[in-house]
Structure 1
Amino acid sequence: MRPFRITKAQARKAPALGAAFFVALGLFAPQAHAAPAGQASAATPPATKAAAPRSIPVPKAPEATTGGRPLAAEDDAKAATPKAAATAAPTKAAKQFSAAAAGNGCDLASFSNASGSTLVANVKAASLDCLNTLYPLTGTDAGKVFGEAKMVAVADALRTNAATYPGDNSTSTGQLVQFLRAGYYVQWYHSDVVGTYGTALQTSIRGALDAFFAAPHSKDVTDANGQTFAEAVTLIDSAQENARYTGTVKRLLGDYTTSWPSFMTTAVANTKTVIEDGFDQPAFIAALQADPAFGTTLSSFVTRNASLINGGDMVTSIGILIGNYVAHDELKAQGRPIIKDLVTRFPLVGATGPLTMNLVWFTENKDKGNCSVYGLCDLPTRLPPLVLTNTKTCNANLRVRAQEMTEQQLADTCTSLINEDALFHKVIQDNGAIPGDVNTNLEVVVFDDYYEYSLYAGAMYGIAVDNGGMYEEGNPAKVGNQARFIAHEASWLRPDFQIWNLNHEYTHYLDGRYNMYGDFEAGIVTPTIWWVEGIAEYISYTYRNVRNADAIAEAGKKTYKLSELFDTVYDQTPDAAANSNRVYRWGYLAVRYMLQSHPDDVKAVLAKYRTGDWNGARTLLKSTIGTSYDADFSTWLTACAADNCGSLPPVNQAPLCTAADTRQFDKNCRRDNLAAATGNYSYHFLYLPAGVQKLTITSSGGTGNADLYYGGSNWATTANYQAKSTNADNGETLTITNPPSGWVYFSLYGQQTFSGATVTTQYQ
């Protein structure tokens, strides 16, 4: 299906709807993995760059599209779909018509039971609002109203009417046009009940449109004419007569000036659909090939009206269509000099960026290997300093390059990644980087939003942009290789600042450097995705202290056995949503279970991964472990679905407390296997000498949900406390500054029954 282009203004109207759509389908698993608040060679066109050996696409953002080009999206309907009237919505049939039509004086029978001159009279007598309610018709009603004979009768009436068209709607020309538009729309979607449209209607509609566009007053540059003329332009596309009326389109574009009234300007804007869908029709291509002036008229329209360009205007949206010339061999010779002039004339950034960069996309993807023709071979080096104007060096190993970020946002991003680094090593307990891995630093590239990412990232880095970002590891054994995470801000979450998938993707960098030998392609010769994506999800959610609600909801479904998850690959089935669910949500569950329940097995698997012994790791998972943990995994899933997922035991644990009273703690010690039923307490106390500046109490591990309360010199309860920590699991921390000397008291409260918890006390 051919992608359609949308401009910057149109794109930014979509996030709320897009988010709902993608969430409903489950097409992206992770939530916004982001910084918590406060915390190609010059001679080679980018499109021909080889993919980086470790190039991991990020789960899609709500704004992401699937067309593989800047802001391309798959049309919800067929290519060249007739366009509905603005007030119409394709919903279910007659009941919808009745409700909408009642207030417009509409009677469906006046169209379904009439024919010939009676039908024409009824159409002309109806209001435009009434006719707009015909677009949703389906079933028997659609067939009765829009059969071919009725469409022929109305088209013939339009031909007769056009002979005396007065330049306004006083003779109901607009009603005839609107009925025909609605008919083509309904028949397109419901040809099974409407029937086919053949040569009889084609002959009649051509006669009607010929007569209308030849009428002297159809050339009036007035709003009165524009109201009907704009609809007639759209009717060209509805009837798929795009090739026949290239002259009409050319005249409109050639004559247009910024002084034209609004409805005539709308008529010009409507030529976009005629041109865009025309490029799918061989007859349209042949017409343009025979008339080189069409292309130069398009170009002149853009350059002559450059003052209107703001990224979301009709000049941009029509100008982008010129790129289609190089998508067709018959038109390449015409299109190349026109496109070269436009991408040279207009800046690559700013208001003209959407125009120039969409045209750049066509040159890279539809005229591959010819970047020198357009003077674009140096884009990978020319664009970054123009686009990424904000830079922050976090440390010797980490740098952020951004399009639009404040100093505070840059600093918070650095803090987020540096702190996550510490958590990763604490969980993994590695012994340093894999020998020979020279990816000592990571560059994080952040575009202002998905739109800007889709516009520039492909040309700059040679990556696909129909995703939520991309991590490129490259060859970690090559000196000078630059590991890079290319990302964008989650604009739909504003005013909160978040970078989509930041912490998830930073884990990929750390995992590739400290766990996975070689490049990404080497690491997936056997199924390793359960770990690669699962650990990225686990670290991201754990670091951000966010409950992975989607994964926990999946746990209760018990869709997969653990032994099956060890077989996970990216494209398991043709069902993209199911694949995403398995890769991210179930990867998270598998890794969390293994880290908590079988840490020694994880260490053994990682020892194989770190040396590139993929077959050895596979044998360990599928033969040594095999199905032996499936039953326990199922039991754990039941508990996890009830929010009893447990947590990791602390790394580098303090020694066990030695006091005979198991309630008593000392300066730096821990007690394990603490438990209490829902609503009950595990009470504890600690003696503090004078001068203690800071007391830290932490709980972790086990199952259930224990909340931590501190009561100072009194027993701590939910009704009597000085400080509390109440996360969704057993991972709680309290830091008390300048506590009193003497005995102090704290407790674990059973928000839900918990067991196996560990509590540690430290003070200084």
Structure 2
Amino acid sequence: MRPFRISKAQARRVPALGAAFFIALGLFAPQSQAAPIGQASAAAPAAKAAAPRAIPVPKSPEATTGGRPLASETDGTAGTPKAAAAGTPAKSAKQFSAAAAANGCDTSAFTNATGSALVANVKAASLDCINSLFLLTGTDATRAFGEAQMATVANGLRDASAGYPGDNSTSVGQLVLFLRAGYYVQWKYPNDVGQYGSTLQTAIRGGLDAFYAAPHSKDVTQANGDTLAEAVTLIDSAYENGHYTGVVKRLLADYTTSWPSSMTTAVANTETVIENGFDRDGFIPALQADPGFATTMSSFVTRNASLINGGDMVTSIGIQIGNLVAHDQLRAQGRPIVKDLVSRYPLVGATAPLTMNLVWFTENKDKGNCSVYGLCDLPTRLPPLVLTNERTCNANLRVRAQEMTAQQLADTCTSLINEDALFHKVIQDNGAIPGDVNTNLEVVVFDDYYEYSLYAGSMYGIAVDNGGMYEEGNPAKVGNQARFIAHEASWLRPDFQIWNLNHEYTHYLDGRYNMYGDFDAGMTTPTIWWVEGVAEYISYTYRNVRNADAIAEAGKKTYKLSELFDTVYDQTPDANVNSNRIYRWGYLAVRYMLQSHPDDVKAVLAKYRTGDWNGARTLLKSTIGTKYDADFATWLTACAADKCGTLPPVSQAPLCTAADTRQFDKNCRRDNLAATTGNYSYHFLYLPAGVKQLTITSSGGSGNADLYYGGSNWATTSSYQAKSTNAGNGESLTIANPPSGWVYFSLYGQQTFGGTGVTTQYQ
């Protein structure tokens, strides 16, 4: 994620790290340029919302562009419609000749014919043959779909529609599908086909006007629906959305759940006409002139609410009502309708995709007017409705989740607590930075990326076109709530994983124990080599996962170590900015420095911990400079061969020296502590006046020991001031401003434990 530490006061929140950039290969056409019948097209872009930062941030594999959640896809209805008239899906471009031959399709019938002969050939062809034409390219595309050819077929549609019988016995369907194919190929290969102008526009309006004027185009039958569904999509293909709002309005007004499937598909296809219409000439003026269009959309939703399941056409069409409040000319029409719908239908459950998408429009396209919709309290209203599972890991850590089992919650707590121990072992810090009171972290986990995109923006005011978000807030403010907002990696199921969990938790620890002040303070000079590198290093090390991508990068030797000290986040033409450098090369730089030059790391962190950013920069760029570049290059060669090495032995706190084995002192440890189930290992230490923070940690051994702190009194399970009660023996307590004099703590045998070590530190 980048950046990871943000001041809530300045509303800076930054997306979390994803695995890599996921580049979808295929057609990212608006549905008006939908792929051939039977061949799925890519989803249309989500929203018109601006990205929070125009930078190369790795995302979740399922993240949407723009951040607006779409309708979920439980039944496919909201996806690209498929007409029942289609035979087999069109083949890939390389298989075009074979597909055409298999369908008895001679492309020369369309590339060499003109005038009435072309119209006759289109009508004589099978729908499968016409479907294959969506894949024409080059000179074939030019000769089949040039403007004159398209205008000829559009005029043929006009003539054939006069006697349209309500089925495809006169091959009107072939004419419609040919025109759809032409618009699609022209959109995809404009240099092959050439531009379309007024000649085709006049002809296509004549053809569509004639079709929709034909009495049988209104037949509510399966046979008519087969052609009508494609004719509705053709409205959008031809960019005639504004000219045919009356057709769309009639279909929405007339629809009932008794309509046959092809007629239902025709209605579903109006969603594309509506959505894309808001970006096309003539559509908004048409809606201004006819306010009944907006109320018809609303009535369509409320009449057919029984169909709503999140992935249905009612949801998809209903979401488009939100576009009314996105445009000044239509906002007065849209506000009361949107308010009614978000008040009428629950914010969770089957109706959530409808209501929360409409909420998105109010928040992003009618900003500052939440009171108009009764939505100002969503940040407090939504969490208890959505985050119905919760576990307190210890006094400093809580998990709130949408859908997690008790075992998953427990495992998550254990993972974070044990990672905490590893972090301190690797970094060897001396406790939290003075003045940092971010003692509590809340981890919020949505069920998957879709649910995250649906709710996280409204609940926490963050962008969601990313892989999660860590909010540090103001670490000097008492009561500040640090929060990592995440989602499960649903694409890895049945394995359970919270996307970016360990990486982001390292950021929390790094911000608390290494980086002085808030995020803005830490960005005074380039610190990203460390910030992201240590998060990657701790995450991979704790999970015992080989960082294959980083190791592969090592062999390329793309960067010198001295160059990596200059890595930054901000989007510039400079080579300092790219996701690969930030995460994979950050990992390599930190791993090398921790293993090969730990004293230099300690010196740099000592500067970071006091906010001496310029001093740290001088150490990195002047004191260290380029002197390790050659050794780093040698290390990269070894690392690429899977010989990256290991950390040097970590020095432990010295053993306590007091004769009484119960007594501790500043920065000392006792090993091999033990107690049977239900019994205690009691301990104490003396604190001088003025101690700001006391940290007690336990680890190692067998069984399950819980840690209790009693202040000036003996600590038991019934009398304590703080406790840490995780599974196993990995416990930690940080006590701010403890009293001077003798203080007491104990290990309680939740199960018989032995071989456990305890360390005490204070500042």
TM-score w.r.t. length of structure 1: 0.76
Alignment of 1:224-239 (within 5 A): 224-239=223-238
**Maintained 8 Å contact 1:82/1:238:** no
Cα shift at 1:254? 0.4
Amino acid corresponding to residue 22 of structure 2 in structure 1: F
Partner of 2:371: 372
Partner of 1:64: 63
Partner of 1:622: 621
Cα shift at 1:153? 1.3
SS in 1 for 2:445: strand
Distance 2:452 2:56 in 1: 13
Partner of 1:673: none
Partner of 1:433: 432
Most deviating of 404-413 and 194-203: 194-203
Alignment of 1:496-645 (within 5 A): 496-571=495-570, 573=572, 579-645=578-644
- For residues 424-459 of structure 1, what are the alpha-carbon distances to aligned partners after superposition, in whole Å with 9 as ceiling and x for unaligned? 000000000000001001000000000000000000
**Maintained 8 Å contact 1:299/1:319:** yes
Amino acid corresponding to residue 257 of structure 1 in structure 2: T
Distance 1:575 1:623 in 2: 22
Q: Does 1:122 align with 2:116?
A: no
Partner of 1:22: 22
Partner of 2:347: 348
Change (3 A) 1:574 1:209: farther
Partner of 2:412: 413
**Maintained 8 Å contact 1:517/1:612:** yes
Change (3 A) 1:23 1:330: closer
Cα shift at 1:96? 3.6
- For residues 212-247 of structure 1, what are the alpha-carbon distances to aligned partners after superposition, in whole Å with 9 as ceiling and x for unaligned? 111111111000000000000000001111001000
Distance 1:112 1:57 in 2: 44
SS in 2 for 1:134: helix
Amino acid corresponding to residue 528 of structure 1 in structure 2: T
- For residues 500-521 of structure 1, what are the alpha-carbon distances to aligned partners after superposition, in whole Å with 9 as ceiling and x for unaligned? 0100000000000000000011
- For residues 373-395 of structure 1, what are the alpha-carbon distances to aligned partners after superposition, in whole Å with 9 as ceiling and x for unaligned? 00000000000000000010000
Change (3 A) 1:183 1:382: same
Partner of 2:443: 444
Distance 1:89 1:583 in 2: 42
Change (3 A) 1:400 1:58: farther
- For residues 715-746 of structure 1, what are the alpha-carbon distances to aligned partners after superposition, in whole Å with 9 as ceiling and x for unaligned? xxxxxxxxxxxxxxxxxxxxxxxxxxxxxxxx
Distance 1:599 1:199 in 2: 72
Cα shift at 1:557? 0.3
Partner of 1:711: none
- For residues 340-392 of structure 1, what are the alpha-carbon distances to aligned partners after superposition, in whole Å with 9 as ceiling and x for unaligned? 00000000010000000000010001000000000000000000000000010
Distance 1:763 1:478 in 2: 35
- For residues 268-326 of structure 1, what are the alpha-carbon distances to aligned partners after superposition, in whole Å with 9 as ceiling and x for unaligned? 00001100110001310100011100000000001110000001100001100011111
**Maintained 8 Å contact 1:571/1:579:** no
SS in 2 for 1:221: coil
Distance 2:81 2:624 in 1: 58
SS in 2 for 1:135: helix
**Maintained 8 Å contact 1:57/1:468:** no
Cα shift at 1:652? 2.7
Change (3 A) 1:86 1:568: farther
Amino acid corresponding to residue 616 of structure 2 in structure 1: A
- For residues 557-605 of structure 1, what are the alpha-carbon distances to aligned partners after superposition, in whole Å with 9 as ceiling and x for unaligned? 0000000000001135569997110010000000000000000000000
Partner of 1:360: 359
- For residues 141-169 of structure 1, what are the alpha-carbon distances to aligned partners after superposition, in whole Å with 9 as ceiling and x for unaligned? 10011111111111111111111110000
Distance 2:441 2:386 in 1: 19
SS in 2 for 1:393: strand
SS in 2 for 1:451: helix
Partner of 1:459: 458
SS in 2 for 1:259: coil
SS in 1 for 2:133: coil
Distance 1:555 1:185 in 2: 44
Partner of 1:101: 100
- For residues 510-536 of structure 1, what are the alpha-carbon distances to aligned partners after superposition, in whole Å with 9 as ceiling and x for unaligned? 000000000011101110011000000
Change (3 A) 1:502 1:568: same
Partner of 1:381: 380
Partner of 1:193: 192
Partner of 2:745: none
Distance 1:82 1:377 in 2: 37
Distance 1:224 1:345 in 2: 36
TM-score w.r.t. length of structure 2: 0.76
**Maintained 8 Å contact 2:92/2:135:** yes
- The alignment of Structure 1 onto Structure 2 pairs a total of residues equal to 609
Partner of 2:11: none
Cα shift at 1:88? 6.0
SS in 1 for 2:135: coil
**Maintained 8 Å contact 1:19/1:63:** no
Partner of 1:170: 169
Partner of 1:205: 204
Alignment of 1:4-403 (within 5 A): 22=22, 59-71=58-70, 92=93, 96-403=95-402
RMSD: 2.8
Change (3 A) 1:276 1:136: same
SS in 1 for 2:484: strand
Distance 1:391 1:367 in 2: 34
SS in 2 for 1:257: coil
Cα shift at 1:72? 9.7
SS in 1 for 2:67: coil
Partner of 1:732: none
Distance 2:589 2:435 in 1: 29
Cα shift at 1:20? 10
SS in 2 for 1:245: helix
Where do 5+ consecutive residues of structure 2 fail to align? 1-17, 26-48, 73-79, 655-670, 672-700, 703-754, 758-763
**Maintained 8 Å contact 2:20/2:58:** no
Where do 5+ consecutive residues of structure 1 fail to align? 1-17, 26-47, 74-80, 656-667, 669-693, 696-761
SS in 2 for 1:487: strand
Distance 1:71 1:263 in 2: 23
**Maintained 8 Å contact 1:450/1:489:** yes
**Maintained 8 Å contact 1:83/1:238:** no
Change (3 A) 1:441 1:653: closer
- For residues 238-263 of structure 1, what are the alpha-carbon distances to aligned partners after superposition, in whole Å with 9 as ceiling and x for unaligned? 11110010000000000001110000
Partner of 1:702: none
**Maintained 8 Å contact 2:81/2:269:** no
Partner of 2:43: none
SS in 1 for 2:243: coil
- For residues 463-485 of structure 1, what are the alpha-carbon distances to aligned partners after superposition, in whole Å with 9 as ceiling and x for unaligned? 00000100000000011110000
Distance 2:426 2:215 in 1: 79
Distance 2:234 2:427 in 1: 63
**Maintained 8 Å contact 1:379/1:459:** yes
**Maintained 8 Å contact 1:555/1:638:** yes
Cα shift at 1:194? 1.5
Alignment of 1:743-754 (within 5 A): none
Cα shift at 1:199? 1.3
**Maintained 8 Å contact 2:71/2:310:** no
Change (3 A) 1:576 1:280: farther
**Maintained 8 Å contact 1:57/1:469:** no
SS in 2 for 1:400: strand
Alignment of 1:629-668 (within 5 A): 629-652=628-651
